A and B are shown apart, each in its own frame.
Chain A
C-alpha cells in the first residue's frame, strides 16, 4: 500500500460502539478486529483512527460501527464484516448496503444514523458526547468542549452567580424526585458546617434502566466536571461517586477519568490555579436496590446497613456524617456543564415550563427500537414509543407503558398523547423515576404486571418500616390470590386501603411509591381485575390457572408453528389443516399464543 492511501485512511475515524449492549453482542471483538486487520495491512499507526465509544443508545441494532467523516453507520456488525468494511468503505469509499439500517416503514436504506427516526427526534444534552468520544481519553472530552464550563466558572462566575444560573435554568433532579437542583445547592451553600460533601448517585437499580450506566461508561468526565462546578459553588472539599457494584466498566472508566482529571489539574489541590481543593472517591454499592434512596445511600457510604432514615432535616443541612451534603443523580450532573457553558436561558428554551431541559429514557419492552432515548421534556409518549421507538413489536396493539421503574405506574393507551414531564406523569398516577419506560402489548396481564413489581419490591424494600414491609407483603399476597383465581371483590378495597397507607406513612420514597403499580393498574385496568375475580378469566392469557387457549378454525392455516413450539405436545393437526389444542395436556404456557402469526390462537 502506498503512502497516499495510508494518509487517506488516517483521516477517517472508525468508531466502534462498546457500550454494554454492543459489547454483549461482540462489539469489543469487532473493535479488536479493526485494530488487528488495519495494522496487518501495513505498519501504519492505527490507534488514533479506531475508537471504542460508549453506548450510542441504539442497542437493538448493535454492534454499531460509525465511520467519520463520511457519517456512515453500520448496524449489527460482526467480526466477519470487518475485512469488507476496510476493503470497500475505507479504501474504495463504497457504502455496504447490507449493513445499513433499513427503515421498516419506507424500506429505504439509511446511510447515517442521524437520519433515522430513532435519532432525528432526539435532543442530546446529557448524552451529547456518548458514542462520539472514547470515554477513556480525556483529550476527546476536552476536544468537544469539555472542562470549558469549569474555566468559564472560575474566570467569570462567583459561586453565588453559578448557583443563580442553575436555579434560573430550572433544572430538576433527574434521579426521580424532581427537586429543583439549584435550590438544593443554595441550601447547602447557606448551611453551616465544614467539610461539605458532594455525592453522585450512580446506584441505578430499576429493572430495564441503564441511562446512568451509559453516561458513566460513555462520558465519565461530564459527571466529574459537574461535580467540580458544584464543589466550587457550595464550597465542598470531597466528593463521592456511589456506583452500583455490578457496573464494572463504569467503575473502570470513572477511575481512569478521575486519575486523568487529577493529572490535568481539574481535581486535587488548587484546581486550575484557584484556591479550590476538591477530590473524588469512588464507592461501590453493596447490591441493594434501596441504596439508590439518598439517605440509605449515605448510610451505606458511612458503612452502616443501607436503610433510609427520615429526612425532616434535609441532607443539605445534615447529610453524610452529619455534614451538609449535595446528592445528585448521574444524569443531573451531566447537565450541569452544558448549563454553565451555554447559559441558563438556552437550557430553559428546551422542555416545558415546569420541567426544563431533556430527559433520557430507557425504552424497552415490546417496542421495535429498544435503547436510550433523550428527548425534550414535554415530548408525548406517542412520539417516544411510535416515532422514535418504531411502535410495538410485531405490530401488536399497545396496551400500556410502565414508567418510573418498579414503583412507577402503568399508563394506558388513552393517555398516549400525554406530554411527558415530572408533573404530568405524577398526575397520571405514575412517576418520572429515573426514566425507565417499558412498553407492554396486548399479551400482557396487568394484574400479573402489578404482582411482578410487588414481588420485586418485596425482595428489595429494606424492610425497616411497617407500611412498606408489611404493606408490600399483604399486597403481594392479595395479587397472587387474584392471579390464582381466588380473589374476592373486597380484595380490591383492601388493596386500595393498604396502598393508601403505604403512600401516607412509609419512611422513604420506595415505600411511598411501592403501591403505584397496584393503584395505577386498578385505576386504568379495573376491568381486568374484575375479569380475574368475577369471571375467573385472564383476558391476556397470562395467569395460568385462569387461562384456556383454543384455536379458531377459520384463522388457522395449519402452518404447524404452534405444534413445533408446544413444550407439552398438546397441539394436534394435519399439515395445512386447522389444529386443535388438547386442554387436558396443555400447560397454559402461552407459547402458541405468542408464536401464532395469524391470531388463530385465542384466549377463551
Chain B
C-alpha cells in the first residue's frame, strides 16, 4: 500500500504507525515519549501530524506514534497546524526541563515563547514515562506514575524504598532529560530512596551492577554466571572468536 507523506509517495505495510514509516524514511518528527523498544504511548503529543483521510471532510491531527496506517492517507509532518501545536507543547515542556538541550533546540526551531519555570519535583521530568516502561521491561515495575492531573509524577509506592527496585538504573539511563538522580561512589549506589551494594567485574575490577540485579538475573535464567561486566564479556567473546578463526 502507498501513502503520501509531505507529497512524497511511500510504500507502507498495513498496521505500521506513521512514526515507524517516518523514522524509516528519515522524515523528521520530534518525540519525547517514544522508544522503539516499547512502541508508541501517545503521551507527549510532540509527534502530532496532520492527516487527510478518505471520507473525512476535515484534516485532523493525530499522534504519529499510535496511529496505525490502515488505508491510503496523506500525511503532513510540518504543516502550520502541526508547527503551532509543537510550538505550544515545547513552550509548556520547557517550563519543566529548561536546561535540556533537545528541548532548547526544538524551542528554537518552533520559535516557542518563554514561560516562567515551574517548581515541580523532580526538576527536569517531562513525564514521558520511558522510565516506567524500562522498569517494566526489566521485569520489576518498581516505579509508576502517582496522583493525577497537574500533580502527577513518577514515584515508588508511597515514595518509600521498595523491594521491587534492584537498583539497575535502567530508568535513569533511558531518561531523556536526566531527571532521575542517583548517587554512586564505587561501592554503593543510591536511587529511589534505597542504597545498593555494587559488585565489581572479576576481570577489570570496575563496579558494574548491584547485588540485587545479579540475584534477579540468576533467578530468571537459572544460571550461575561469572561476574563479568559487559565490555569484558564482549572482549572475552571476541578473543574466543579470534581463536576459532585461527
Mark A residues whose CB is within 8 Å of B.
Answer: 288, 290, 305, 309-310, 312-313, 457-467, 469-474, 476, 497-498, 500-501, 504-507
The residues of B that contact A470 with a CB separation of less than 8 Å are 89, 92-93, 95-96, 150
Q: A305-B144, A460-B148 are in contact. List 19 more A-B contacts (CB 8 A).
A: A290-B148, A310-B42, A312-B62, A312-B68, A462-B149, A462-B152, A463-B127, A463-B152, A465-B44, A466-B43, A466-B126, A469-B150, A470-B150, A471-B88, A476-B150, A498-B92, A500-B84, A504-B84, A505-B48
How far is B68's CA from A467's CA once the two chains are assembled, in angstroms? 22
The 7 A-B residue pairs with the shortest CB-CB distance in the complex, in nearest-first order: A463-B152, A501-B88, A470-B92, A310-B66, A310-B42, A461-B149, A473-B150
Q: Taking the nearest CB of chain B, how far is it from the CB of A301, in angstroms?
A: 18
Can you pick out 30 interface pairs between chain A and chain B where the beta carbons lie within 8 Å of each other? Answer: A309-B66, A310-B40, A310-B42, A310-B63, A310-B67, A312-B67, A457-B149, A458-B149, A460-B148, A461-B150, A463-B145, A464-B43, A464-B127, A465-B42, A465-B45, A466-B45, A467-B45, A467-B85, A467-B88, A469-B149, A469-B150, A470-B89, A470-B96, A470-B150, A497-B88, A500-B84, A504-B61, A504-B85, A505-B48, A507-B42
Whether B66 lies near A466 (C-beta < 8 A) is: no
How far is B147's CA from A310's CA once the two chains are assembled, in angstroms? 21
Q: List B residues 143-199 near A (Cβ within 8 Å).
A: 144-145, 147-152
Interface string of B117-131 (1 = CB under 8 A from A): 010000000110000
The residues of B that contact A288 with a CB separation of less than 8 Å are 148
Interface string of B68-88 (1 = CB under 8 A from A): 100000000000010011001
How far is B29's CA from A71's CA once the two chains are assembled, in angstroms? 68
The residues of B that contact A305 with a CB separation of less than 8 Å are 144-145
Whether B148 lies near A462 (C-beta < 8 A) is: yes
Q: Taking the nearest CB of chain A, how far is it from the CB of B179, in angstroms?
A: 15
Q: Taking the nearest CB of chain A, how far is it from the CB of B157, in angstroms?
A: 13
Interface string of B95-119 (1 = CB under 8 A from A): 1100000000000000000010010
Whether B93 lies near A466 (C-beta < 8 A) is: yes
Kindly report which residue of chain A lies nearest to residue B147, judged by CB atoms.
A463
Whether B89 lies near A501 (C-beta < 8 A) is: yes
Kindly report which residue of chain A lies nearest to residue B120, judged by CB atoms.
A473
Whether A458 lies near B45 (C-beta < 8 A) is: no
How far is B127's CA from A310's CA once the two chains are assembled, in angstroms? 17
The residues of B that contact A312 with a CB separation of less than 8 Å are 62, 66-68
Q: List B residues 21-68 near A (Cβ within 8 Å).
A: 40, 42-46, 48, 61-63, 66-68
Q: Taking the nearest CB of chain A, how far is it from the CB of B117, in angstroms?
A: 12
Kindly report which residue of chain A lies nearest to residue B45, judged by CB atoms.
A505
How far is B61's CA from A310's CA once the two chains are assembled, in angstroms? 12
The residues of A that contact B84 with a CB separation of less than 8 Å are 497, 500-501, 504
Whether B89 lies near A466 (C-beta < 8 A) is: yes
The residues of A that contact B67 with a CB separation of less than 8 Å are 310, 312
Name the residue in B44, B62, B92 with the highest tally of chain A Cβ atoms < 10 Å from its Cβ: B92
Known contacts A312-B68, A461-B149, A462-B148; A505/B42 CB under 8 A: no
The residues of A that contact B89 with a CB separation of less than 8 Å are 466-467, 470, 501, 505
How far is B61's CA from A211's CA once the two chains are assembled, in angstroms? 33
How far is B63's CA from A309's CA once the two chains are assembled, in angstroms? 11
Q: Taking the nearest CB of chain A, how far is it from the CB of B17, in angstroms?
A: 9
Whether A467 lies near B92 (C-beta < 8 A) is: yes
The residues of B that contact A467 with a CB separation of less than 8 Å are 45, 85, 88-89, 92
The residues of A that contact B63 with a CB separation of less than 8 Å are 310, 507
**Cβ contact of B42, chosen from A309, A313, A459, cutoff 8 A:** A309
How far is B67's CA from A149's CA once the two chains are assembled, in angstroms? 40
How far is B149's CA from A470's CA once the two chains are assembled, in angstroms? 9
Kindly report which residue of chain A lies nearest to residue B89, judged by CB atoms.
A466
How far is B92's CA from A476's CA once the two chains are assembled, in angstroms? 13
The residues of A that contact B147 with a CB separation of less than 8 Å are 463
Name the residue in A464, A476, A498, A500 with the highest tally of chain B Cβ atoms < 10 Å from its Cβ: A464
The residues of B that contact A457 with a CB separation of less than 8 Å are 149
Q: Taking the nearest CB of chain A, how far is it from the CB of B192, in angstroms?
A: 19
How far is B213's CA from A287's CA once the two chains are assembled, in angstroms? 37
Whether A469 lies near B127 (C-beta < 8 A) is: yes
Whether B150 lies near A458 (C-beta < 8 A) is: yes
Q: Taking the nearest CB of chain B, how far is it from the CB of A319, in angstroms?
A: 16
How far is B92's CA from A470's CA once the two chains are assembled, in angstroms? 6
Whether B127 lies near A498 (C-beta < 8 A) is: no
How far is B93's CA from A24's CA once the two chains are assembled, in angstroms? 46
Kindly report which residue of chain A lies nearest to residue B88, judged by CB atoms.
A501
The residues of A that contact B62 with a CB separation of less than 8 Å are 310, 312
**Cβ contact of B85, chosen from A313, A472, A505, A507, cutoff 8 A:** A505
Name the residue in B45, B61, B81 with the highest tally of chain A Cβ atoms < 10 Å from its Cβ: B45
Known contacts A313-B68, A501-B88, A504-B81; A472/B149 CB under 8 A: yes
Q: Taking the nearest CB of chain A, how far is it from the CB of B23, in angstroms?
A: 18
Q: Taking the nearest CB of chain B, how far is it from the CB of A592, in angstroms?
A: 35
How far is B148's CA from A352's CA once the two chains are assembled, in angstroms? 39
How far is B151's CA from A470's CA once the two chains are assembled, in angstroms? 10
Q: Taking the nearest CB of chain B, how far is it from the CB of A225, in angstroms?
A: 34
Whether B45 lies near A459 (C-beta < 8 A) is: no
